[in-house]
Amino acid sequence: MRQFESRGAGNEVRVRVMVTGATGFVGGALARRLLDDGFAVRCLIRDPSSERARALEERGCELAVADLTEPGGLGEALSAVEVAYFLVHMVGSGDDYAAMERAAAARFARAAKRAGTRRIIYLGGLGEQAGSPHLRSRREVAAALRAEGPPLTYFRAAMVIGSGSESFELLRGTADRLPAMPAPDWLHTETQPIGIDDAVSYLREAIDVPESAGREIQIGGPEVITHLDLVSEMATAAGRSGPRRIAVSDRVARPRAVAAGAAAVTAGAPEVARELGLGLAETTVITDPSGARLFATRPRPLAETLARAIDDQQNVGAAG
């Protein structure tokens, strides 16, 4: 059963959907998918002159300019928006990024409720302990959105794999650039990564799944794998041997030290990689698959997901 309708130019009824974080990895992919499916997409942008913002506008997105860290501007931006995606991450914005994220989420949720937006859809992280600052912030953002705004569809995922993501850059840098890596017990924690196309498919499909409103949806790929084995799988997909593992004590290879090392080899933002690295000690697997069963999306195997990400990355490099 469809909750919202989206029609093309010959049938003028089109749902207006807002995407925040549209200049980011997941948000940009989602905006393109929504456009392809005939939705009227409005992107909340802080700097409309940026290259990514201009690319969204050229693709067909409407741009609304507002800064989530400041009051004002959100009411007009959310006018006539039926569904809003909150995909904002502020990791790397300073030591107080978690407080900034919570405040931005609450501000956005209140504005969406006042504007009559019918649903917010959010992508957070898996992990029941939320021991790292990054994962804890993801959970607190969800709580703020739920408390202050319209009904929330709260997706939770582990690493989203795809060319251009900070997580993928961290994984690729570790597999490519380290001849050896420490293997403390805490790096044997399990995770359940998902490909970008599959994550976007869930996010897009949520519009047409009214039963997902007001509930948590845990999503992931079909395989559960340790973080150490994921590095090996990445190396295999790239046609090379993975780093040699060196058994060390947890007291020697602490999460903060390993995270700093990971930040040094990534091609992405080091400060973001450092925060993501701190989350490697956390088990990030699906513990409740019931929400995902509402959806038709069936995630691809890990090997296919890694191969596709590598191909996309090579194609981008060749085009550049």
Where do the domains of the chain lie? 16-224+281-311
- Burial degree of 237 (CB within 10 A; 0-12, 13-18, 19+): buried
CA distance 293 to 270: 36
Contact 122, 84 (CB under 8 A): no
Express each pLDDT in 171-191 by its tens digit: 888 888 888 888 888 888 999
Give the other-Cβ count within 10 Å of 30's Cβ: 26
In 3D space, the residue among 245, 289, 236, 279 whose CA is nearest the CA of residue 259 turns out to be: 279
pLDDT of residue 168: 86
CA distance 40 to 201: 17
pLDDT of residue 2: 37
What's the longest Cα–Cα distance across the chain? Answer: 65
Q: What angle do CA 106, 209, 207 make, to 5 degrees?
A: 55
User: What backbone phi and psi angles, to 5 degrees, belong to 116?
Assistant: 85, 15
CATH class held by domain 16-224+281-311:
alpha beta
pLDDT of residue 264: 75
CA distance 159 to 5: 31
| CA 311 to mean position of chain CA atoms | 20
CA distance 90 to 24: 11
Contact 151, 250 (CB under 8 A): no
CA distance 230 to 175: 9
Express each pLDDT in 209-227 by its tens digit: 999 999 999 999 999 999 9
Show the low-confidence residues of the chain (pLDDT under 70): 1-14, 91-95, 130-131, 262, 266-275, 278, 316-320
Alpha-helical segments (H) within the chain: 25-36, 51-59, 74-77, 97-115, 133-148, 166-177, 196-205, 227-237, 255-265, 270-278, 302-319
CA distance 45 to 49: 9
Q: What is the pTM of this model?
A: 0.90
CA distance 91 to 98: 8
CA distance 278 to 257: 9
